[in-house]
Amino acid sequence: MLSLQVKQQYIHDLVDWIEANLTDDLNIESITAKSGYSRWHMQRMFKEITGQTLASYTRKRRLTIAAMALRLTRLSLIDIAVRFGFENQQNFTRVFKSHFMITPGVFRRIPELHFRGFHGRISTEHGSGVAQLITRDELHLCGEVAEWECAFGEFVPQQANIVAEHARRFVNFAGQHSSRGWLGFQYGPGQSGAEQQQISLYQALESHHQDKLTNHAVGWTAPAGLYATIQWQGTPEQINPFIAEMYYNHLPELGVARREGKDLLRLEMQQSSSEWLTGMFSIPVTRVD
């Protein structure tokens, strides 16, 4: 009989593979072939460890990532439908509306990003902290902006090192001038291709430190309002995976929608280094019914 630890590691590895293949021809048969176990045994173990059926998990994860593709790319509905394993646009629209209570077209057009129906990646490890809602005053920052594009789906696996290098350079600089520094993230459709998404990274100090910055620095004010916040610490390479965890796991539990603005990571410089970061994430949100 397999121990609980062995089962958890097995499911963790299987989920890694599922997450990497959500846009492929993914079905119970292909997952069974990958698992090395019988279909019955594999599905029973998955339900035992996760509390979810394998079919339900893969369907909800595909719908969640498809919803993000609607917001972060210019891919057509039919392209997104095919990419995530739906037979046609009509079938995609029907299943999407049944799950999210809204059509894909409307979901793409509404100003706020709603999380109702989002389904996060399963983790068999100890979770991170609990997100909280706070009301915050205006925050005046000044810093430099780095922007680039990547193919949708590459932000976590392929772009983590790029963000990490920016973070390392920023910490080495900001730690000499301030007790706090700020990394601000924004995401949206790219311009170089339909499946491209744009990433904007704002590296800033509070505005009274403007004299420490270069002539390329620009001012920006984070408006007062409601924010979802969570304490965080980790390596620079773990920033991108944690942002994904925020969007897919923490925000759906709060009953909020993301409003316009930057996702801010406030770094505590006295507790941070180029290899270990300590701070707090804040994401601008609004309550929804």
pLDDT digits (tens, 9 = 90+) for 217-239: 999 999 999 999 999 999 999 99
Kindly state whether residue 124 falls inside one of the protein's structural domains: no
Kindly state whether residue 120 falls inside one of the protein's structural domains: no
Kindly state whether residue 114 falls inside one of the protein's structural domains: no
Provide the 3-class DSSP secondary structure of residue 95: helix
Answer yes or no: do 173 and 264 share one domain. Answer: yes
Answer yes or no: do 140 and 236 share one domain. Answer: yes
- Side-chain half-sphere exposure of 163, counting CA atoms within 13 A: 28
Cα 42 to Cα 12, 186, 200, distances in angstroms: 13, 39, 41
Kindly state whether residue 121 falls inside one of the protein's structural domains: no
pLDDT digits (tens, 9 = 90+) for 125-136: 545 689 999 999
Kindly state whether residue 127 falls inside one of the protein's structural domains: no
Q: What is the pLDDT of residue 127?
A: 53
Total number of domains constituting the chain: 2
For residue 260, give the CATH number of its domain.
3.20.80.10
Q: What is the pLDDT of residue 125?
A: 56
Distance CA 79, CA 32 (A): 27
Q: What is the pLDDT of residue 128?
A: 67
In this prediction, residue 248 has a pLDDT band, given cuts at 50, 70 and 90, of: very high
Query: What residue numbers bound the domain in which 178 lies?
Result: 132-287
Q: What is the pLDDT of residue 124?
A: 55
Judging by DSSP bridges, how do beta strands 277-287 and 180-189 pair with one another?
unpaired
What DSSP string describes 226-240?
EEEEEEEEE-GGGHH
Kindly state whether residue 136 falls inside one of the protein's structural domains: yes
Full-model pTM = 0.92
Answer yes or no: do 90 and 217 share one domain. Answer: no
Answer yes or no: do 137 and 105 share one domain. Answer: no
Q: What is the pLDDT of residue 131?
A: 95
Query: Residue 193 contacts by C-beta under 8 Å, 6 or more apart in sequence?
Result: 151
Identify the weakest region by mean pLDDT among 150-159, 160-169, 273-282: 150-159
For 93, counting Cβ atoms within 10 Å of its Cβ (0-12 exposed, 13-18 middle, 19+ buried), the class is middle
Answer yes or no: do 179 and 269 share one domain. Answer: yes
Kindly state whether residue 215 falls inside one of the protein's structural domains: yes
For residue 83, give the CATH number of its domain.
1.10.10.60
Q: What is the pLDDT of residue 30?
A: 84
For the chain, strand residue ranges (E) read 113-114, 132-136, 139-151, 180-189, 196-206, 218-222, 225-234, 256-258, 263-268, 277-287
Answer yes or no: do 86 and 156 share one domain. Answer: no
